[in-house]
Amino acid sequence: MKTFYTNESVVERIYSGADLMLPGVFKDGPFAENFADLCKGSACAVASFSGSPGSLQSSKALAVGLLEMSAADFKASGGKGVFVTVLHTARDRLTLEELATQPETVAACSPKKSSFCVEDFYFGPPVLEEVRIISSAAAPFFAAAGLVKGSAITQAETNQIVSAYVDSRKLRNSDNKSIIRADNLLLKVCEPNLLTEAPNSTLAQPLFQITYQDLITSLTRGLKVVYRLTFPPESGLQPFLTAGSKPPKLVLLETKVNGKDVTRISNLVTFGIDPKSFSRHLRTILACSVNVLDDTSHYTSAVQAQGAHAVRLSKLLTGEHNLFVPYLILLVFLHCGFLPPNKDI
């Protein structure tokens, strides 16, 4: 479901019963949706953004409704008209009644800890973000934002910095906001083949321009892609970057060793789970022998339990430990006498 962003002042009018008009929709930059595939009548959400151009903050969905425009309608609208018919907002009676009828819950952890904490060794899943590492070629542009070569940046952060830069220097074409006038810095960092000569360019004073999307492409193409994991503050763990370009996985293996069933979980530390504490936790709930493996040549931070527990442990990890994200857990069931290296899974 698409989410369209608008100003906080517009949201207040929506709370009062207004629909979302097209002039109030954010159409460019980090909060812009793709308008080329709009489907009239489809459900969508409305959210807001706030802050200065360099530090924009987005809200959760504050209203839901139905799109009143197709992609063709959007192109022919001239930037005017009803864009979303609002059906339900965060302040209407239905929402308030739902909140009033929510049952009270008693947290098992300290109020200062995440609601997903387990005993005193796990405080909730990390936030996993795809980031790019700033190269020496792109570093001059990002320097004004306090970033240097080797810094990690998300796509959304890139869009925010680019939007703030071009808006603060008034580089947008007055007739077409997606066309950016290339100043000296942009000429230095942009790919030459993506630049076009501006209509008012002369031999004496050559001027160039670039589309907003091509500017983003120039700054991000070729940057190394890695993943950043950020843990809950109460865990005391520092964010770190993965070494490879693939998202990390928590690997659950069930196999036989010397004719006996064993279940092995590896890569625990990556997701903020202490192997020793986790092994003690498993001994209690599985009532079996559980140990931390000393041999980490094939597996990182692995814990092994005697018996076939893959199904039960997968439920534990996706429920109690709240790691239910498709690319975080990989279930592998083997019925042979050896375990392959983690990198081959």
- 228-283 residue pLDDT tens: 988 888 888 888 898 888 888 778 888 888 889 998 888 888 888 888 888 888 89
pLDDT band of residue 185 (cuts 50, 70, 90) is very high
Name the DSSP letter for residue 251.
Answer: E
Residue ranges with strand state E in 213-288: 224-230, 240-241, 250-257, 260-266
Band of residue 48 on the pLDDT scale cut at 50, 70, 90: confident
- Residue 49 half-sphere exposure toward CB, CA atoms < 13 A: 22
Residue-level pLDDT at 99: 42
Per the CB < 8 A criterion, the answer to whether 173 and 206 are in contact is: no
Taking the whole predicted model, whether its pTM rises above 0.75 is answered as no
The residues with which 252 forms a beta bridge, in sequence order, are 265, 331
172, pLDDT greater than 90: yes
Res 299: pLDDT: 56
Q: Are 254 and 334 in contact (CB under 8 A)?
A: yes
d(CA 290, CA 282): 7
Q: In what order do the strands lie in the sheet with 260-266?
A: 290-292, 303-306, 260-266, 250-257, 329-333
Average pLDDT over residues 292-296: 71
Residues found in the chain: 345
Asked if the 251-332 domain carries CATH number 3.30.420.10, the reply is no
- The phi and psi torsions of 340 (rounded to 5 degrees) equal -75, 160
| 295 pLDDT more than 90 | no
CATH 2.60.120.260 assigned to 2-89? no
The yes-or-no verdict on residue 328 having pLDDT over 50 is no
**Higher pLDDT among residues 117 and 181, named by residue:** 181
Question: b/e for 163-181, b at 16 or more Cβ within 10 A?
Answer: bbbbeeeebbeeeeeebbb
What dotted CATH number matches 136-220? 1.10.245
> Which range (28-32, 188-192, 243-247, 278-282) has the least confidence?
28-32
Identify the CA nearest to 63 among candidates 92, 28, 34, 105.
Answer: 92
pLDDT of residue 111: 38
If one counts every other C-beta atom within 10 angstroms of the C-beta of residue 158, the result is: 22
Q: Of 46-60, 165-179, 274-288, which one has max mean pLDDT?
A: 165-179
Domain boundaries, the chain: 2-89, 136-220, 251-332
When pLDDT is cut at 50, 70 and 90, the band that residue 115 belongs to is: very low
Q: What is the pLDDT of residues 64-99, one digit of tens each?
A: 888 899 888 988 888 889 999 888 888 765 454 444
